[in-house]
Every structure is written in C-alpha cells, then in structure tokens.
Chains A and B, each alone.
Chain A
Amino acid sequence: MSETPTNGSEPQPVVRLRDIHKSFGSNHVLKGIDLTVHKGEHVVIFGPSGSGKSTLLRTVNLLEIPDSGSVWFEGKEYGPGVDGEHLPKGKARLLRQEIGMVFQQFNLFPHITALDNVALALRRVKRIPRPEAETRAAAYLDRVGLLDKLAAYPAQLSGGQQQRVAIARSLVMEPKVMLFDEPTSALDPELVGEVLAVMRRLAETGMTMVVVTHEMGFGEEVGDQNIFMDDGAVVEQGGRGIYKDAQEPRTREFLRSIL
C-alpha cells in the first residue's frame, strides 16, 4: 500500500479515478478514464455534448456508479475497484458529504426558502440545531451576495441567483472538493458573469474544483489541468495553453467550432 507523501511540496491527491468504464444499455459512455485531482487544483473538463464529461463528473460523487474501475477519495475506495487492489471501502453517502456538486439546472428545492435550502443538509445530515444551522446558512448566503434573499423561494430568484444559492448550499457543508456540472449552461447570457465571478473567487480561495463547462475563458483563467473529452475518452489534457495551441486535431476542431 503506497501512501502519498504529504510533505507540502508534493501535490497531494484528493480524488483519483482509474480505468472508469460506464455504459447505459449498449451505449458505452466512459471508456476507461483516469483522472487525479490534487488538493487545491482546478480541473476543467470540456468537450462536445455526449462526450461523457457530465457522467464522468457524476462518477466522482457516485451519483453514477461505474461499471468497473476505481473511485478513490482520501484513502478509501468507493467504486467497484481495480483487479488485484484491495483498498478500504467507503460509503457513498459519507463521500457525498465531503464533495459538493452544483448542477446545470440548479436543482434547488422549490418548496423551501433560500435559507432553508442552504440549512437543510446542516440540520438533517450534520444534525446541527436549527438556530446554529440558520446562522451558518445565512453567512454562506452572504458570501455569495444573497443575504437579502434568504426568505425568498427559488421561483422568486433569477437563474444566476438560484445558481449562487446552489453554490452556497454545497459550500456550507465545507466540502473538500467542489464539482460543477455546466453551471452556466442554463443561464441567460447576462447572468453567466455573476456565477462565473463567484466560481473564480472560490478558485482563488484555494478550493479544489472540477468544472465541466463550455466557458473556455474560465478554463484559460483558472484551469490547472484542462481535459478535452470526446466519445467517452480523454483526447488531450494540458495546462492553460491548451486553448491556444492544442496538439490533437480533434481538440483544435472543437475549440474552433465553439469560439
């Protein structure tokens, strides 16, 4: 069992996916993906729709259980695993408490207020008493600039505001990793900026992030590891330069088509 050294200079892996395969019926969506996310790193995944990038992201917090392969998080194994390896098994529910996720469609709970959306998991998962949970939730709504909206219901908020509440809902659990699944794709163009600004600030604070997005500008700015996926496989990965001079013709073609 090789433990990763944690002497500060070495980047410390937080999440490691190895040889992930996933099929829906006869549709082979992920064809053996490897991905290591280090502490404080910002991973940006891009590619055409149907390339499997969302499915890959959802594998990280086990909203999708891979057919085969290893999902490793902080010393424990969550997926089916890799042959010959025997790591201590973890519970998906506990992993999800430490990995936040922001969805394309926000998925706020429409029947409760913004404050209750953020406080719900504190109260029910972390068993924090209501007054304390509400204080913390309000502080996180303040962080995303929505303290004045704490009594509003999701339907009374703009898309950008809803997505910021959703970000607060995840952050309040103090996750070690944040996953973003096309967080601006469902937004009106003029609302994209406010959500990206929050994500950019979050990246600056050192949060470990994995972001699936079509916002190449975001990748150029904060992406430490930029991954181009197509047809269920990683075609190319690299630093911020990938957007300007990609090596693979398919990457270049894709970047040309969306710019």
Chain B
Amino acid sequence: MSGVLAQATFRPEFIWDNRHIFLDGVWLTVRIAVVAFALATALGLVVALLRMSRSRILGPIMAAYINVFRAIPLLVFVLFVYYGVAIHFSFSISAIQAGVLALTLQYSAWLGEIFRSGIQAVADGQRQAAMSVGMSRPQTFVRVVMPQATRIVTPPTGNMFIGMIKDSSLVYIIGVPELLRVSNLLANRTFRYFEVYLGTVIVYLILTTAVYFMFKYIERRFQLVDVLTSKVRSPFAKRRAARLRRLQDEVLAARDTEPSVRLATE
C-alpha cells in the first residue's frame, strides 16, 4: 500500500534525472522525421508532376498511388512494411529504414496533393506571360510557377512536418528506439508512468513548437519588401539598395543620349 502511495507522489525531478534517455530518443525522432520528410518532399514533387502530366497512363497511376497510401492507417502500414514485407521476404533493411520508408511513402502522397494544389493555384496568366517573352516550359516552371507555388504550399507543408514529427512515434511498434519507444521502456522499468509520459509530452511539445516557429520565420522571409523605400536592416538588402541606386544614377546619366525613346514622363 505504501509503495502505491509513494509512486503516486509526483517527482518532477525524475524527468530531469533521466534526461539522457529522452535526449537519445528525441535525437532519433528528429533524424527519422527530417530524413523521411526530406525524402517525402522530393517524392511528393515527383508525384505531383506526374499526376498532372498529360499522359493517360502516369496520371491515373499517380492518382491510385495517392489514394492507396492515404487510405492505409499509418500504424498498420508501418507493421506491413517491416514485418509483412521486409522481414517476411528477408530484405536486409533495419527497422529504422523500414520506418522511414513507410513514413516517406505515406507523406509523399499527402505532400503530392498539397504540391499539386499549389502549382494549379498559380494563375494561368502567369504561364502565358512567361511564354509570351519566349521562356520555355521548364524555365516557366522553375522561374515563375515554382516560386509562387512554394509560397502557397508553405503553411500546409509546415503542418505536414509537424504531423511527421508526431507520426514518427508510430515506428515504436517495430522496435525503433525513438522517443516514444524509450519512454515506454523507461515507464515499464520504473512504473513512473506520469513522470515519464509527462516528459514525453513536453519533449514533443518543444519539438513541434520549434517547427511552428521555424515555418513562421520562413513565411516572414517571403514578405516582399521594396529595399529602396522601406527601412531594411539586413546587410544583403543594404547592398542591394546601394546597387539599385547606382543603377538609377547610371540610367539618369544616360538619358540624354537618346531622348526620343522615352515613352512617359515621371
């Protein structure tokens, strides 16, 4: 009886005393999430482009790809990829690799749809304007469509990255010693369930909050600022402003050489 009571006493220092365990787990969580997200982003872009291709074969195949990977519960999919496929058919991949593969495939489907919507949201007039000055299709995509689509998809992509950090916990089921798995082991060993899972919750909260602010920063970087008229402080903007002022002076100095070509006054 006294033992139960003793365990019911909240000992917050228990979390701090076991910080190395949480740190080991979170380090693996971060690596899995970052690698899987980077791969899913690259694959998602390919999925989006093939999905939009005019090919009568590739379009439907990619539509099916997206539907299949979005339809399976992630936990089931992790088990399927590792035990169902990798172990059963003796592929020599580790549990971590299997977990990353499962996460990558599912997230590439979600991200593919986000990227497609972003690319399609760029007005058609943009493509026409780019083509009207002689740009090729690849140039138009890289210089005109992509930069605008990137702005559009950044907020939902940030949400997906937060989702990836949380969903990476599901690979605990195949024994990958990420944050949730090491938390489970610690809790089962010490019976300090409240302290352990409180620690786990706090660590996830810190991680996802950090990502939230990271994407907020990226979105702020997208703000379009006239370097000549606004008070900008960054050394890059200052150099650019100086360069543009020199350019203006140059043009003003050259004005008199061919006054006939001017089409408007100020």
Contacts and interface: CB of A to CB of B under 8 A. Distances in A.
Interface of A: 61, 63, 93-94, 96-97, 99-101, 103, 105, 107-113, 115, 120-121, 124-125, 134-135, 138-139, 142-148, 150-153, 155-156, 164, 166-167, 169-170, 173, 194, 197-198, 201-202, 205
Given A97-B134, A169-B129, 4 more contacts: A143-B264, A150-B228, A166-B129, A205-B261
Contacts of B144: 109
Interface string B105-144: 0000000000000000001011011111111100100011
Contact of B247 (A99, A110, A121, A150): A150
A113 B243 CA distance: 14
Q: Which 6 A-B pairs have the closest CB atoms?
A: A145-B264, A97-B134, A107-B129, A121-B133, A107-B125, A101-B132
The B contact surface, by secondary structure, is helix
Given A150-B247, A156-B226, A94 B134 contact: yes
B152 to A, nearest CB: 11
A147 B148 contact: no
A144 B251 contact: no
B143 A155 contact: no
B131 A143 contact: no
Nearest to B262: A143
B143 A153 contact: no
Nearest to B142: A124
Contacts of B224: 110-111, 153, 155-156
A164 B226 CA distance: 18
A152 B143 CA distance: 18
Nearest to A173: B133
B7 to A, nearest CB: 58
B260 interface: yes
A124 B135 contact: yes
A121 B135 contact: yes
Interface in B215-266: 224, 226-229, 240-241, 244, 247-248, 250-252, 254-255, 260-266
A164 B266 CA distance: 12
25 contacts: A63-B128, A101-B132, A107-B125, A109-B129, A109-B144, A110-B148, A110-B224, A113-B226, A120-B133, A120-B143, A121-B135, A135-B251, A138-B248, A139-B254, A143-B262, A145-B262, A150-B247, A151-B226, A151-B241, A153-B224, A156-B224, A156-B226, A169-B129, A173-B134, A205-B261
A63 B126 CA distance: 12
Contacts of B240: 151
A194 B143 contact: no
A8 to B, nearest CB: 21
A85 to B, nearest CB: 26
